[in-house]
């Protein structure tokens, strides 16, 4: 079954007009829109940043895709609602000031965004939330593909969301030091990117998702080799973060070596569901809303993630 991306929206640290990251410090924080024009201010009052980012980009995606109500809502988040979780935790662990509030607890759970989107749409449809570290978004995409292939529904709203909080930044930095993260690490990031996916033809086609379990990831290498044999203009978006973990990319270096490549985490920072941002970026590049000098009009974008001790992932998008 052929699947297409009918609409996307993203909130990130990337300035699409200038093709630059907005922040060169060691953290990438999102440029957020004026939410009042997107979300009812009465709802907004209680929402943390991750909820605002998630709901706003979900609403915009559906608008762009011209979908009133999708038939499934699938969200991915690696770390969930950190602001509310941290807020509740810090108060709870302070014996002199235990002013925990119910809202923080309610909104600490990972499916908060999925539930909010369903309520906003007044929809009783399929709703699921995946949280598998750096592969959360890929797994949500897999669920999307499976649902559409099963043929009971026709459109899915899919999104990946993670937030960077002051507490997360502090603790992760401490952890990186403890684990001796190398120099060159691009920095922590955050973002929300949503996609509307269906069988309805559009200019961006979802060609392939590979989750590779092979010890030498030969299925991904083979896919690259076969694809490049076709000789078409291809951009590779790599999930390198500049740090130690990039070792894992060495396996495929011999094939990818000289191909036009963008290390996209230079634009959005490192966070578990950054692959959602990459998919949004790929779609923008194929529609020529974003142009990289390395390859001005690619016909294909391959998004590649390699992790130590985890499956590697490949997402292939194309335009006709």
Partner 1 sequence: MKVFVAGMGVFTALGDNCAGNLSSLLGKRHGILASSRDIDTLMGDFPIAKIAYTNNELAAKAGISPSWPRTALLGVIAAQEAVASSGLDFTKYRSGFISGTTVGGMDSTENFFYSYSKNKSAGHISRIINHECGKISHLIAENIQATNFVTTLNTACSSAANAIAFAARMIKSGRLDIAVAGGTDAITAFTLNGFNTLLLLDDELNRPFDARRKGLNLGEGAGYLVLVSEEIARQNNCQILAELSGYANASDSFHQTALSDEGNGPYLAMECAIKMAGLSASVVGYINLHGTATPNNDLSEGNAILRLFPVKIPAISSTKSFTGHTLGASGGVEAVYSVLALINQTTLPNLRFEIPMPGTELFPETEARKIDLQNVLSNSFGFGGNCCSLLFSKV
Partner 2 sequence: MSNFIVMEQLIFNLKEQIIERLNLSETKPEDIDSEAPLFGDGLGLDSIDALEIIVLLQQVYGIKITNAEEGKKAMKSVKTLAEYITEKQA
Which of 24/101 has CB closer to partner 2?
A: 101
Minimum distance between the CB of residue 118 and partner 1, rounded to whole angstroms?
Answer: 4
94 lies in the site for partner 2, by CB under 8 A: no
Residue 130 site contact among partner 1, partner 2, none (CB < 5 to 8 Å, cut-off depends on kind): partner 1
Rounded Cα distance, 257 and 250, in Å: 10
Q: Which stretch binds partner 1 (CB under 8 A): 86-94, 183-191, 226-234, 281-289?
A: 86-94
Q: Which of 101, 152, 289, 297 binds partner 2 (CB under 8 A)?
A: 101
Minimum distance between the CB of residue 177 and partner 1, rounded to whole angstroms?
Answer: 9
Q: Which stretch binds partner 1 (CB under 8 A): 23-31, 94-102, 195-203, 276-284?
A: 94-102
- What are 173-181's contacts with CB under 8 Å, separation 24+? 173/26, 176/243, 180/244, 181/243, 181/244
Residue 89 site contact among partner 2, partner 1, none (CB < 5 to 8 Å, cut-off depends on kind): partner 1
Q: Which of 93, 99, 230, 320 binds partner 2 (CB under 8 A)?
A: 99
Size of the site for partner 1 (CB under 8 A): 55
Size of the site for partner 2 (CB under 8 A): 10
67 lies in the site for partner 1, by CB under 8 A: no
Q: What token pair was written down for 242?
A: 């500049």
Are 244 and 182 in contact by the 8 Å Cβ rule? The answer is yes
| Interface with partner 2 in residues 17-56 (CB under 8 A) | 42, 45-46
307 lies in the site for partner 1, by CB under 8 A: no
107 lies in the site for partner 1, by CB under 8 A: yes
- The label of the residue with tokens 């907005």 reads 22
166 lies in the site for partner 1, by CB under 8 A: no
203 lies in the site for partner 1, by CB under 8 A: no
Q: Which of 16, 71, 128, 203 binds partner 1 (CB under 8 A)?
A: 128
- The label of the residue with tokens 């790929």 reads 282
Dihedral over alpha carbons 148, 278, 65, 319 (to 10 degrees): -80
Rounded Cα distance, 240 and 187, in Å: 11
Which of 159/298 has CB closer to partner 1?
A: 159
* Footprint on this chain of partner 1 (rule: CB under 8 A): 73, 78-80, 88-90, 92-95, 98, 100-102, 105-112, 114-116, 118-119, 121-133, 135-136, 139, 143, 146, 149-150, 171, 174-175, 178, 211, 213, 311
* Footprint on this chain of partner 2 (rule: CB under 8 A): 42, 45-46, 98-103, 106
């Amino acid at each position: 079954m052929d699947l297409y991306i009918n609409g996307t929206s993203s909130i990130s640290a990337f300035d699409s007009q200038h093709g630059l990251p907005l922040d060169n410090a060691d953290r990438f924080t999102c440029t957020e829109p004026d939410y009042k024009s997107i979300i009812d201010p009465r709802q907004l009052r209680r929402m943390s940043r991750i909820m605002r980012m998630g709901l706003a980009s979900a609403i915009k995606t559906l608008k762009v895709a011209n979908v009133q109500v999708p038939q499934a809502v699938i969200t991915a988040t690696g770390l969930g609602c950190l602001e509310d979780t941290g807020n509740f935790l810090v108060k709870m662990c302070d014996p002199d000031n235990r002013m925990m509030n119910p809202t923080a607890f309610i909104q600490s759970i990972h499916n908060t965004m999925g539930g909010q989107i369903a309520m906003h749409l007044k929809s009783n449809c399929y709703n699921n939330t995946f949280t598998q570290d750096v592969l959360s978004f890929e797994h949500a995409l897999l669920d999307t593909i499976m649902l559409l292939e099963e043929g009971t529904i026709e459109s899915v709203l899919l999104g990946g969301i993670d937030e960077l909080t002051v507490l997360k930044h502090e603790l992760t930095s401490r952890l990186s030091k403890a684990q001796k993260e190398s120099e060159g690490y691009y920095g922590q990031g955050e973002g929300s990117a949503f996609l509307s996916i269906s069988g309805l033809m559009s200019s961006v086609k979802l060609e392939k998702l590979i989750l590779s379990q092979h010890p030498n990831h030969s299925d991904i290498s083979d896919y690259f080799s076969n694809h490049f044999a076709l000789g078409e203009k291809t951009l590779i978006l790599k999930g390198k973060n500049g740090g130690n973990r990039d070792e894992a990319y060495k396996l495929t270096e011999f094939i990818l070596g000289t191909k036009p490549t963008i290390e996209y985490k230079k634009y959005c920072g490192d966070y578990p569901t950054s692959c959602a941002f990459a998919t949004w970026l790929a779609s923008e590049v194929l529609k020529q809303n974003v142009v990289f000098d390395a390859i001005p009009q690619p016909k294909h974008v391959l998004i590649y993630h390699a992790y130590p001790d985890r499956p590697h992932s490949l997402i292939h998008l194309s335009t006709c």
